[in-house]
Amino acid sequence: MAATIHEVAKKAGVSISTVSRSFTHPELVSDKTKTTVLGIAADMGFSISRSATALKSGVSLRVALLLSDRLGSWFNSAVVEGLNSVLHPAGYDISIFQIESSRERKIFFDTLPTRRNADAVIVASFDVADSEVERLNTLNVPLIGINSATHNVYNASVRIDDEQGATLAFKHIVSLGHTSMVYVQTDPMNSLFFSVQQRKDAFLKCCEEASISPRVLTATTSGSMSSNVLTQLFSLDELPTAVVCQEDGLAVPLMFQMARSGIRVPRDVSVIGFDDSIYANDIGLTTIRQDPMAMAMRAANLTLDLIDGKHPADPQEIFEPQLMLRSSTDVARA
């Protein structure tokens, strides 16, 4: 019977990823290692066929990525690009699953054992249930989180410090003298718990400790979210002097809507976002910077280590947010 990828890797003294890479991306492996691996594979009758490998050894050479929201969103596209830049050269494909509810998430974890189509599962931005974690532990499939709310249940995770980011935003707004402020969030339309909730909770806690009572507005998903938020702002008894947005995806279009309506940013209203995404610098949006591509690349390397049976010394890594000061909160620079 032909050998498995585990057996080839063990005899060659290399990782499973290196065996896979020797076949799928030989240009990324040293000549000496490649020659050794291919020679041992030939002697042992090993084939890199994905279907054959999965049946013989349970190794599919695929990583499942669970995402919510659109694939083309700034965060998700950066995550996919970052993961692919590391996993593809290592010989792994990415299978993307769009999860919109806890029910869909449960179905994924319930059917994973029969599909056997993932060597690891990466979850971006939302939570997982304890029972689902146990299911993966039983299957010996590593679970990795990227900006996930329940980061402590993963074999490894990378995330931005949402609480610190929210605190940076609060301190900056207050330092400018603002006490009349609004926090704008997206509509939590499904049953998943997202990391941005921690961002909001931390901001509101800072306000409470400073005896400030901000209004919380929710951007509905029907129609234009920015137009909807602007309508809600105009319906208030008094226009706030500062608007803090859960993400740049709300702040950037809102600034355009404000300009059309005659609201001057920042003379009339200061606006701050979160992400430092595309167009934030061009429009002059003060925001809290995070780097999803860097986080995804780090998550991918942790994933490969876990697949190869290596346990990271620091499995829960935190990326520090950075306040990016621009004209949307600075009257002198407007």
- Contact by Cβ (8 Å): 229, 219: yes
Please state, rounded to an integer, the average pLDDT across all residues of the chain.
Answer: 88
User: pLDDT of 142-170, one tens digit each?
Assistant: 999 999 877 678 999 999 999 999 999 99
Mean of pLDDT values over 114-134: 82
Give the model's pLDDT for residue 131.
81
In sequence order, what DSSP letters do the residues of 71-108 get, joined into one string?
Answer: TTSHHHHHHHHHHHHHHTTTT-EEEEEE--SHHHHHHH
Side-chain-facing half-sphere of 309: CA atoms under 13 Å: 7
According to DSSP, the β-strands at 286-289 and 322-324 are antiparallel
| 268 confidence band (pLDDT: 50, 70, 90) | very high
Rounded to the nearest 10°, the torsion over CA 201, 202, 205, 210 is -140
Task: Using a pLDDT cut of 70, give the percent of the chain over it.
Answer: 90
Of the listed ranges 6-10, 133-137, 176-180, 319-323, the one predicted with least confidence: 133-137
Greatest mean pLDDT range, 38-47, 63-72, 264-273: 264-273
Write down the pLDDT at residue 129: 83
Average pLDDT of the residues in 228-246? 95
What pLDDT, in 10s, does the model give residues 49-85?
544 444 444 567 889 999 987 888 899 999 999 999 9
Closest CA to 272 of 331, 197, 329: 329
Question: 164-204: per-residue pLDDT in tens?
Answer: 999 999 999 999 999 999 999 988 655 566 778 899 999 99
Span 296-318, mean pLDDT? 93
> Residue 317 and residue 146: Cα distance in Å, rounded?
10
High-pLDDT (> 90) share of the chain, %: 56
Residue (of 260, 299, 298, 251) closest to 278 by Cα position: 251
Beta partners for residue 182, in sequence order: 215, 243
Give the SS3 label for residue 162.
helix
334 pLDDT higher than 60: no
Is 288:273 a contact under the CB 8 Å cutoff? yes
Residue 190 confidence (pLDDT): 57
Q: Give residue 56's pLDDT.
A: 44
